[in-house]
Structure 1
């Protein structure tokens, strides 16, 4: 497999945050049918983003796609994550490392919100 996917969460001291991230990654893996899908946290949890990038490269990825689970295009998206990616590109020439857009205002998120409203109505 020449493509590796990293599901990137913010991270949290709460243990359930890491478990949720793992569940989301597994759902992505199943939906894709197979392939390299790893998790990373920007803060507090391991693996962090550099470790996850090295893991997918070690598994054979020549293209690393980072999927940020961030609602807003804030400082992490604009500065922190690109800085890590730039550093990793320097350390891994020949490997393409790309950052997908943040979640943002997306109609598909509205569907989840409507489901949550129904659940408690």
Structure 2
């Protein structure tokens, strides 16, 4: 049996519940594309679950590798400083789990291309 892969979609958070809809839509699509993966959303502030809560849910489900994907347009302070610190805390709490951090999605060439095409739509 292969190891269960966990994926956390990490976003900033907002008091407005509607703000979560696109993040949760991405999570549903990930689950559709790979039904074997376990995916959870996590938020830096204002919304639950936070990163620790999302990670612990995935660990209870059997995930032993967890990839954190920041749904941010760029590598601002939250992604550069706050998120690595939160991951260090998780690594200390769960040394048997491998946590990896992806780059901010907004810096990926495919996302830049998509945003440019959206800007050019009439």
TM over 0.5: same fold? yes
Equivalent residues in 2 for 1:17-36 (5 A)? Answer: 17-36=19-38
Deviation at 1:21, TM superposition (A): 1.2
Q: Judging changes above 3 Å, is the alpha-carbon distance between structure 1 residues 33 and 116 closer, same or farther for their aligned structure 2 residues?
A: farther
Q: State TM-score, norm by structure 2.
A: 0.89
Structure 2 residue aligned with 1:64: 66
Report the equivalent of 2:10.
8
What CA deviation, in whole Å up to 9, does each residue of 1:72-94 have, x standing for no partner? Answer: 11111111011111011111011
Ranges in structure 1 where 5+ consecutive residues have no aligned partner = none
How far is 1:39 from its partner? Answer: 0.6
Which residue matches 2:77?
A: 75
Q: Taking structure 1 as the reference length, what is the TM-score of the superposition?
A: 0.89
Count of aligned pairs: 119
Within 5 A, what are the aligned runs for 1:85-96?
85-96=87-98
Moved over 6 A (4+): none
Distance in 1 (alpha carbons) for counterparts of 2:116 and 2:44: 25
| CA–CA separation in structure 2 for the residues paired with 1:7 and 1:41 | 8
Picking from 107, 117, 120, the partner of 1:114 is: 117
